[in-house]
């Protein structure tokens, strides 16, 4: 049978490719974005207890009430926005599911979605599967700021959604309150929905406050905000995330979620509800926890020939390797994993039209021993 692919541009993701090469070549894996340390012990115990106590059948489709209440509490505590846990909060199987459900719920065939390159790789396939068009706007390197004038020029009557991501993967740039004002002015009096990927919401540095779209009344009224417990609680393999949106948008979102997964892993929902209630300091202390990692990683790399770009949030460090080799980023990452002992992620796969830069991404959500081992390799290049 001749299968005509619906996603001709999609192959195996660069994250899986590099993780596989890291195993093959016994390289230190700073590629894929996951911590190599464990989630908090009380959270793991709560998960085991939830299973032992029989929370093993379907959860309510929209998420358990205690977990949705904790998410609503966190939202008002951090961003000053009161949301209704019954009508505005939906628990999902990771942020990936929430992003897909949001796009599928809102975007129709022939419409356009604006994304900023370098863009997380799940966005475009989700848009294309709706028969819609992805409009790529490059962020301005090396600060990876948004050029709002370019956004204004890219708006057409077909623009249905603008997808933002702050703190940004892979650059570590964050949006400011002024950026959100610019965005609000652009979408005012249009039918454009904002999809805000905030999976690194608790990982912002140097005393800055995360500028969640939920802080911005005008934007919050037309936005779906997505986050991930995997990033916050060092358990990316549990795949639990959530979406917060006004009731009418949530209702549409839930129609898709209902038939995409129906519900999310029940024992983990019980564990997160318990841990969020007992230990809110975990997310409150996360900026300091990761800032210490960022700073020690940067100090370890200081003697290397890599040029380190600024990191304002998230757990990735972009480095310029042009003093070491003059080849494109994919070739450099292949060489680095095979000959240099470290797996990194090239930026090209995050772009529609790659910039001619010599930048790769390193993940510093790693133990001291892993960072040390990676730095020894990188400083010898």
Ligand X SMILES: Cc1ncc(COP(=O)(O)O)c(C=O)c1O
Report, in angstroms and rounded to the nearest whole number, the Rg of the chain calculated over CA atoms: 20
**Rule CB under 6 A: is residue 33 a binding residue for ligand X?**
yes
- Smaller CB separation from ligand X, 236 or 304: 236
Exposure class string for 332-341: b at 16+ Cβ within 10 A, else e: bbbebbeebb
**Rule CB under 6 A: is residue 31 a binding residue for ligand X?**
no
Span from 50-58, 88-96, 147-155, 288-296 in contact with ligand X (CB under 6 A): 88-96
**Starting from the edge strand earliest in sequence, which strands make up the sheet with 241-244, in order?**
89-92, 241-244, 223-228, 193-197, 159-165, 112-117, 133-138
Residue from 70, 75, 169, 312 touching ligand X (CB under 6 A): that is 169
- Smaller CB separation from ligand X, 95 or 301: 95
CA 340 and chain centroid, separation: 28
Span from 43-51, 54-62, 90-98, 369-377 in contact with ligand X (CB under 6 A): 90-98
Cα gap 24→216, rounded to integer Å? 47
**Rule CB under 6 A: is residue 228 a binding residue for ligand X?**
yes
Comparing every residue's Cβ against ligand X, the nearest one is: 94
**Residue 364 phi/psi, 5° resolution?**
-110, 20
Span from 23-31, 36-44, 89-97, 287-295 in contact with ligand X (CB under 6 A): 89-97
Contact pattern for ligand X over residues 231 through 250, marking x by CB under 6 A: -----x--x-x---------
Span from 74-82, 91-99, 256-264, 304-312 in contact with ligand X (CB under 6 A): 91-99
| Residues contacting residue 348 through CB under 8 Å, at least 6 positions apart | 328, 329, 330, 354
**Residue 164 phi/psi, 5° resolution?**
-115, 160
Residue from 30, 95, 151, 224 touching ligand X (CB under 6 A): that is 95
Exposure class string for 195-218: b at 16+ Cβ within 10 A, else e: bbbbbbbbbbbeeeebbbbbbbee
- Cβ neighbours of 272 (radius 10 Å): 28
Query: At 308, which helix (H) or strand (E)?
Result: strand 307-308
Span from 56-64, 94-102, 142-150, 254-262 in contact with ligand X (CB under 6 A): 94-102
**Residue 92 phi/psi, 5° resolution?**
-130, 170
- Cβ neighbours of 298 (radius 10 Å): 15
**Rule CB under 6 A: is residue 341 a binding residue for ligand X?**
no
Contact pattern for ligand X over residues 183 through 222, marking x by CB under 6 A: --------------x-x-----------------------
**Rounded to the nearest whole angstrom, what is the least distance from the CB of residue 14 to ligand X in the complex?**
12
**Rounded to the nearest whole angstrom, what is the least distance from the CB of residue 233 to ligand X in the complex?**
11
Residue from 29, 90, 96, 312 touching ligand X (CB under 6 A): that is 96
Specify whether the CB–CB gap between 242 and 227 falls below 8 A: yes
- Smaller CB separation from ligand X, 229 or 297: 229
In the complex, the residues that contact ligand X under the rule CB under 6 A are: 33, 94-96, 120, 165, 169, 197, 199, 228, 230, 236, 239, 241
């Amino acid at each position: 049978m001749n299968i005509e692919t619906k996603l001709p541009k999609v192959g195996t993701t660069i994250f899986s490719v590099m993780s596989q090469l890291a195993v093959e070549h016994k390289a230190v894996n700073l590629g894929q974005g996951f911590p190599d340390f464990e989630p908090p012990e009380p959270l793991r115990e709560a998960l085991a207890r939830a299973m032992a106590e029989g929370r093993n059948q379907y959860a309510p489709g929209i998420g358990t009430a205690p977990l949705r209440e904790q998410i609503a509490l966190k939202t008002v505590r951090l961003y000053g926005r009161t949301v209704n846990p019954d009508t505005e909060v939906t628990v999902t199987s990771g942020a990936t599911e929430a992003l897909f459900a949001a796009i599928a719920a809102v975007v129709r065939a022939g419409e356009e979605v604006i994304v900023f390159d370098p863009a997380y790789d799940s966005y475009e396939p989700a848009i294309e599967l709706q028969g819609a068009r992805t409009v790529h706007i490059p962020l301005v390197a090396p600060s990876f700021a948004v050029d709002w004038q370019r956004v204004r020029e890219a708006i057409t009557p077909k623009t249905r959604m603008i997808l933002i991501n702050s703190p940004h993967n892979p650059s570590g740039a964050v949006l400011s309150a002024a950026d959100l004002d610019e965005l609000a002015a652009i979408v005012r009096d249009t039918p454009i929905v904002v999809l805000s990927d905030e999976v690194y919401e608790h990982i912002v540095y140097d005393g800055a406050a995360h500028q969640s779209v939920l802080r911005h009344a005008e934007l919050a009224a037309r936005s779906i905000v997505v986050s991930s417990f995997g990033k916050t609680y060092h358990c990316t393999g549990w795949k639990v995330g959530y979406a917060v949106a006004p009731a009418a948008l949530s209702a549409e979102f839930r129609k898709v979620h209902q038939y995409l997964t129906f519900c999310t892993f029940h024992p983990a929902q019980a564990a997160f509800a318990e841990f969020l209630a007992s230990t809110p300091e975990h997310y409150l202390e996360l900026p300091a926890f990761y800032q210490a990692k960022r700073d020690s990683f940067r100090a370890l790399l200081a003697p290397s020939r890599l040029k380190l770009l600024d990191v304002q949030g998230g757990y990735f460090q972009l480095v310029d390797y042009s003093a070491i080799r003059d080849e494109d980023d994919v070739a450099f990452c292949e060489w680095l994993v095979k000959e240099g002992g470290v797996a990194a992620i090239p930026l090209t796969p995050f772009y529609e039209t790659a910039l001619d830069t010599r930048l790769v991404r390193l993940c510093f959500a790693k133990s001291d021993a892993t960072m040390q081992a990676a730095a020894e390799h990188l400083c010898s290049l």
